[in-house]
Copies of this chain bind each other. A is one copy, B any other.
Amino acid sequence: MSLEWISLLLLLQLSCYFSPGSAGKVLVWPTEYSHWINMKTILDELVQRGHEVSVLTSSASILVDPNKPSAIKFEIYPSSYTKHEYEGIFRKIIDDLIHLPKEPVWEHFSLMQGVIWDYSDSILKLCKDVVLNKKLVRKLQESKFDLVLADAVGPCGELLAELLKIPLMYSLRFVPGHKIEKYSGGLPFPPSYVPVVMSELSDQMTFMERVKNMLYLFSENYLVYSHYKTLISLTFLMRKAEMWLVRNYWDFEFPHPVLPHFEFIGGYHCKPQIISSQEIEEFAQSSGENGIVVFSLGSMVSNMTEERANVIASALAQIPQKVRYSKTRYLRANTRLYEWIPQSDLLGHPKTKAFITHGGANGIYEAIYHGIPMVGIPLFADQPDNVAHMKTKGAAVRLDFSSMSSTDLLNALKTVMHDPSYKENAMKLSRIQHDQPMKPLDRAVFWIEFVMRHKRAKHLRPASHDLNWFQYHSLDVIGFLLASTAVFVTTKCCLFHCWKFAKTGKKEKGSSYS
């Protein structure tokens, strides 16, 4: 058989798996920062496959830049926020999160609800800017979209899908307490072996850790509930989502029960390394045998105290490796500073030995993808939990940002570079990420296309969505069975006593005659 024939056959074979069908029209309700970067990866792929993608973008949007040339369409609507106000809200949220005290747990959750409320509130305001804009809604209705794709972390996608009467799909990393995944998605999270998100626990818990996990669950259930009420009240609509694309996979997450309409696509944004710029390549090559260390605290932290920066810089100055460092001022000769670094490509560079990271999920996934051991210095939100996961899986050492010394950082770096188990474990995670039946991005796009092709994915929808919590836990059934048993026993007892009474009465009557 000639190669032409083979290629045609293979193309046919591939088309069975990936056939996009006719091009679809996707309406996107996005979120900002890393959430947008994540969403954009999927949208780029959809556009690549011939679909039309429109992103609802507020005039105050931060990272969703409609002026950058892109095949994605941006539907800009006037917002009641100015860009400055909107940025201010996010700055405050991040600042609050950074300064959230871990202990006492009660205070932690109390303050957390405030942050979540601020966030939810700001998204709701944007949502109102859209759904109350009659002209915009009419335009959207006339555009005949096939699907709403929304980040489930903030409300609105479900309202849009309802307004336009089209199917809905979610993309999600997680929400605190897994409230949305639990109540709107239907996922069970047994507290005996599934650590509560952000608890920093592993799936191998001691008895006291399981107690802690249960307390976390109570606190989150009670506290987060009271302030997540906007989303909870949308549960009815959110349950209509055909599928949930969760940005997680079993290299990062601990195995837990899932449902057929959840697809775990963690790491889908990762790509093989592309040759970096000449200047970066020269810097890397000049490191010789020792290789390089990549350092980044992410895009959301723009300044740190002089004292902290100095601690970091002086540790980095003591290693033979060269260092790529984003955002600090105190450097030695082996350290080079960049406002922005091509993090994924650097992590994929054969010279890279270690990654010092704040523990953002995207960065960790890039390190997993390229098999690079980590030193985690978590700052806020899910970062401590993310680093705890990598620590449990033996691919990271964890440090505390506010209290670590230069020696701590130096020792941690030496550990992950010289103790071979860290590299081994990082490579193990990398193999898990690479060795999947189908690439996560292809799976994500497959299911988006599936829902557009079939207008739904009802065969994956759990029937629990039609039950309230009382019914879900079979409390009504158990109550009924207990009541029935009680009635049965009481009736039996009564009958027995009546019979005995009648018998005794008869006897007495009998004896009175005797």
Closest B residue, CB atoms, query A218: B481
Nearest Cβ on chain B to A468's Cβ, whole angstroms = 10
Q: Does A431 contact B (CB under 8 A)?
A: yes
When chains A and B are docked, how far (Å) is the Cα of A143 from the Cα of B471? 54
Q: A254-B463, A454-B431 are in contact. Are A477 and B214 (CB under 8 A)?
A: yes
- Residue contact B14 to A10, C-beta cutoff 8 Å: yes
Contact of A438 with B210 in the complex, beta carbons under 8 Å:
no
Does A459 belong to the interface (CB within 8 Å)?
yes
Q: C-beta contact mask, A404-447 vs B, less than 8 Å → 1, else 0? A: 00000000000000000000000000011001011100110011
With A and B bound together, what is the CA distance between A437 and B245 in angstroms? 14
Chain A interface, >50% SS class: helix
How many Å from the CB of A189 to the closest CB on chain B? 11
A188 CA to B462 CA, complexed, in Å: 13
Of listed A11, A250, A251, A466, residue having the most chain B CB within 10 A: A250
Q: How distant is the Cα of A89 from the Cα of B143 in the complex, in angstroms?
A: 66
Chain B min CB distance to A469 (Å) = 10
- The answer to whether B261 and A255 have CB atoms under 8 Å apart is yes
A10 contact from B7, B207, B250, Cβ within 8 A: B7
A438 CB, nearest partner CB in chain B, Å: 5
Q: At the interface with chain B, which of A41-49, A190-198, A231-239, A298-306?
A: A190-198
Q: Is A203 an interface residue (CB 8 A)?
A: yes
Copies of this chain present in the complex amount to: 2
Query: Cβ of A211 and Cβ of B480 under 8 Å apart?
Result: yes
Interface string of A158-194 (1 = CB under 8 A from B): 0000000000000000000000000000011011110
Q: Which residue of B lies closest to A464 (CB)?
A: B193
Residues of A near any B CB (own CB < 8 A): 3-4, 6-8, 10-11, 13-14, 16-17, 187-188, 190-193, 203-205, 207, 210-211, 214-215, 250-251, 254-261, 264, 431-432, 435, 437-439, 442-443, 446-447, 450, 453-454, 459-464, 466-467, 471-474, 476-478, 480-481
User: Which residues in B have their C-beta under 8 angstroms from that of A211?
Assistant: 477, 480-481
A446 to B459, CA, bound (A): 24
Q: A211-B481, A257-B257 are in contact. Are A251 and B6 (CB under 8 A)?
A: no
Q: Is the CB of A438 within 8 A of B435?
A: no
Contact of B192 with A255 in the complex, beta carbons under 8 Å: no
